[in-house]
Amino acid sequence: MTRIEQAREGIITDEMKAVAQAEGVSAEKLASDIAEGVTVITRNNLHDIKPLGIGKGLTTKINANIGTSKDKVFYDDEMRKL
């Protein structure tokens, strides 16, 4: 079962609890955001890493730069890439 499936089923994992504590949010709020798709927890199956939350209401965010220039301005095309 994936994290998003667990969150949607109301299952709060040890990883969710650890990230929630590190971020200073409730595990229930974190699980809700994961279920909604606005927060993720990283994983690497090849390495033992500390769980890290990325997304809404957390300290780590994702930044996306859109590629427009004065010669080529197709804003709608760039937004579809996000």
Which pLDDT belongs to residue 68? 63
CA distance 39 to 31: 9
Which pLDDT belongs to residue 79? 73
Helices (H), the chain: 3-8, 14-23, 27-36, 75-80
Which pLDDT belongs to residue 82? 65
**37 Cβ contact partners less than 8 Å away, ≥ 6 residues apart:** 4
Residue position matching structure tokens 């990230």: 19
Which pLDDT belongs to residue 69? 67
Blockwise average pLDDT, block size 10, the chain, 82 residues: 95 96 97 97 88 92 70 73 67
55-78: pLDDT as tens digits: 989 998 777 766 666 776 777 777
Query: Domain boundaries in the chain?
Result: 3-80
